[in-house]
Chain A
Amino acid sequence: MAQFHILHASDLHMALFPYKASMPSLTIPALSWLGKVAFWRQASHDPNVVAAFGELAERYYPITDVLLVTGDLATTGEPHDLQAAYTCYPAAPANNLVHVTAAGDPTLYRWASAGKLDLLPGNHDRFHPAYKGYRPGNGEFENVFCPSTGQQFWPKGQTVARGFAVQRGPWELHVIKADFSLPASHHGKSFYWLPGWLGQGTVDPTVLGLLKQETEDARAEIASRGSIPITLWAIHFDPTSTDEVLKLLDSEDLCQAAWELCVPLILCGHTHESKIKPLSDRTVAFVCGTSGQAGPGHKDCQIIGVDADDYGAKPPVFHVAWFRYGAGQFHFIGMR
């Protein structure tokens, strides 16, 4: 049997300062009747959690194919926060046997340098500064994550990119990543007087078109090599979110496209809740909780397993194993 394994993390919310709370002007007690105060409880990363994740990633490095981080790498799109997020990936370890920098901070250098790391932006990564109301569409992300010198992790623009591809047996597992964060001109869809732009994304028709085209092109290339493609899509936003202020607007278009192209799995994050949600009879979303944000709520990461037979006769089977932070470490809590 051909097996593939993806270590999936999301919403690390790195920042220049850990334990930093954001948006003070929006913590209005009057909003509590709407149950929305929790949404505004934005915070940057917890270094203890991020270090524990680094330890888990290091232990799983030898037997997993790729580490995928589905957005909200940083708390805001400001350069200092993005730089703090970027540094986690290519920072040199203290020596070539460890996953820790000389200063004792976690680094995912081993994954990044081996080409086993895939990431994409989320809504927080595209926030403009506070004085601009955290409006979306900040292009600073590309300046940091697509530097002219240094390792590039994302192409220019709010677009689509091919992720990792692993060939095993008759199969080739490959990922296409898409950025559905709101463009600068989009204000989101307000919910009563709550602004939509803070937590919403949108299935932009242009980006969706690119995603479909890139999927078909990649599949054709894989087929030309004599392999059978297993296509996964990676995005930041949970297409099934029912919370109005966290919604992926026009997500039905994405679900329809996944159905048409028979994409079996969409990997995402955003809502800070780990869950499995069927999108149609052909597609399932595996949502990863936050793997690093400080504050109340669970801190999770997961491993996605893909089992495919040796002959290419049966459709692949997907599994997920969940890990949850507690008392300084991530603990295995179950699988499905």
Chain B
Amino acid sequence: MLEVREETADRIFRAQSPEVRGQLRLDISSRTYPPDLNKPVDLSLARQAIGERVVDMARRCASDAIQLHGRREGFESGAIPPEPDASGRLLLMRDARHFERFVLYRLNKILGTDPRSDSYEDAMTNLAEDFYQWAEEQKEDFEIAQERLLIRCKALPQYPGLSQAGPGLRTLDL
């Protein structure tokens, strides 16, 4: 699992908007819970928690890209990922230091970061570097092509009673 650098976690914490800091915590994940809630962040735990959050978010983007196929009217600019390319891949980063716009939109929601913050650009650059470096090794899910980082948009999970592509018409027979 991705663990961002402590420096990255610290910069993300500093890039949170003042009203969010200490409320939207950066150190809670499926494996971590801060031992002292009176401290606004535990950076050692935040390294894991931010990593998990960002990877899950990237996978959610891939799911959304599949499920919102052809139904993209009415969204705010940057709120949803674009269509996957012809090879079923979604572009997340145009190079090792820059996320795509819809990724930044979602990162701001799950990390509470504020683009107006002085630390924002550095925080996102650090995070981009950490994520890119990690994703390079995850060849089953991610792909680097001409420095661009893409995630493979796999089929949605198989559920009883449903076809894999989306809502099915079969009866659910448990």
Contacts and interface: CB of A to CB of B under 8 A. Distances in A.
B115 interface: no
Q: Is the interface of B mostly helix, strand, loop or mixed?
A: loop
A330 interface: yes
A55 B33 contact: no
Contacts of A60: 159, 161-162, 167, 172
Contact of B168 (A19, A62, A335): A62
B174 A48 contact: no
B33 A41 contact: yes
B146 to A, nearest CB: 26
B33 A21 contact: yes
Contacts of B112: 17
Interface stretch (B75-83, B117-125, B126-134): B75-83
Contacts of B59: 327-329
Interface in B1-50: 20, 23-26, 28-38
Contacts of A93: 74
Of residues B112, B170, B172, which shows the largest number of chain A Cβ atoms within 10 Å of its Cβ? B172
Interface in A10-27: 16-21, 23-24, 27
Interface size grouping (class) on chain A: 35 or more
Contacts of B71: 95, 97-98
Interface string A145-176: 00000000000000000000000000000000
Contacts of B62: 328
Given A47-B110, A59-B166, A104 B80 contact: yes
B57 A335 contact: no
B45 to A, nearest CB: 11
Interface in A272-319: 294-297, 299, 303, 305, 307, 319
A63 B32 contact: no
A3 B170 CA distance: 13
Contact of A100 (B32, B36, B80): B80
Given A48-B110, A100-B80, A27 B37 contact: yes
B56 A327 contact: yes
Contact of A18 (B35, B55, B80, B110): B110
21 contacts: A3-B172, A5-B174, A19-B26, A20-B24, A21-B34, A41-B33, A43-B33, A52-B60, A52-B63, A59-B162, A60-B172, A61-B167, A100-B64, A103-B79, A104-B76, A104-B79, A305-B174, A323-B159, A327-B56, A328-B57, A328-B62
Interface of A: 3, 5, 16-21, 23-24, 27, 29, 41, 43, 47-48, 51-52, 55-56, 58-64, 93-95, 97-98, 100, 102-104, 294-297, 299, 303, 305, 307, 319-321, 323, 327-332, 335
